[in-house]
Amino acid sequence: MAGDDEGAKTEPAHDRSLHQRIRADLEERILSGAWSPGHRIPFEHELMAQYGCARMTVNRVLSGLVEAGLIERRRRAGSFVRRPAGQSAVLRIPDVKAEVLSRGETYGYELISGTRRKATRDDRARIAVAAGAPLLALLCRHVADGRPYALEDRLIALDSVPEAADADFATELPGTWLLGHVPWHEAEHNISAAPADARTAARLDVPVGTACLVMERRTWRSGQPITAVRLWYPGDRQKLVARFTPSTAAGR
């Protein structure tokens, strides 16, 4: 009958749930190379027999592997180990404050300037607002252990987030404030390297021309531009991101 079990569920609290154990089993075989790319993994009914469970259970596991990008499935043909998608990788970028704190350094923040203006031609290359739309332009410095860590150059579209005009960015991080007022959003990131110009160099307390890591992030909410931010990190000091990738993930 439904809900009962013949061996599998008599010991549910052993370690993890059944589908987690099956998932781990299959992942191990794939990641270790025991099943190399192109290999056909057992059919659902075979896995049912091996693990003594219902088809829904193995199906759930296999669907998860598809979502993780580890396998692909074709009707009538079976399920196959996928080839890793090129030299691709999934990275994760923490926010600046978390980044500094995770390095065990003290974090500080200063608002250098905050001005309201109508979008210029240059602004509109960074943030897709109408010509003349009101913007808030912020320049902030992130400090780690007393030394400049990153320079933040941010535009906020006041048409999309009018409350930002009244926020006090001298005490509150713009990124944090936005998170609290614009719950979920889409973002696009762009990483490049550039030499520090005179003003940037002075604000970061590095020589002019220092190679900097520049991270640009543009943010939308339902198609409306919210903010565009450029973060300048002195590249000679320390790095930005590190992340390992057990799977291609996020492919779809």
Partner DNA sequence: GAGTGGTCTAGACCACTTC
Partner DNA sequence: AAGTGGTCTAGACCACTCA
The binding site for its own copies (CB under 8 A) comprises 30-33, 36-37, 56, 60, 64, 67, 70, 81, 83-84, 86-96, 98, 175, 179, 182-195, 209-214, 217, 221-222, 233, 235-236, 238-246, 249-250
Using CB distances below 5 to 8 A depending on partner kind, what does residue 4 bind out of DNA, its own copies, none? DNA
Smaller CB separation from DNA, 26 or 229: 26
Catalogue the long-range contacts made by 82-89 (C-beta closer than 8 Å, 24 or more residues apart): 82/37, 82/248, 83/37, 83/38, 84/37, 84/248, 85/248, 85/251, 88/248, 89/243, 89/245
Whether 45 contacts 55, CB under 8 Å: yes
Which range, of 26-34, 77-85, 109-117, 171-179, touches DNA by CB under 7 A? Answer: 77-85
Give the dihedral of Cα atoms 57, 61, 63, 68; nearest 10 deg: 170
Residue selected from 25, 29, 39, 54 as contacting DNA according to rule CB under 7 A: 54
Contact assessment for residue 70 and residue 247, using Cβ atoms and an 8 Å cutoff: yes
Applying CB under 7 A, which part among 8-16, 115-123, 180-188, 210-218 lies near DNA?
A: 8-16
C-beta closer to its own copies: residue 49 or 241: 241
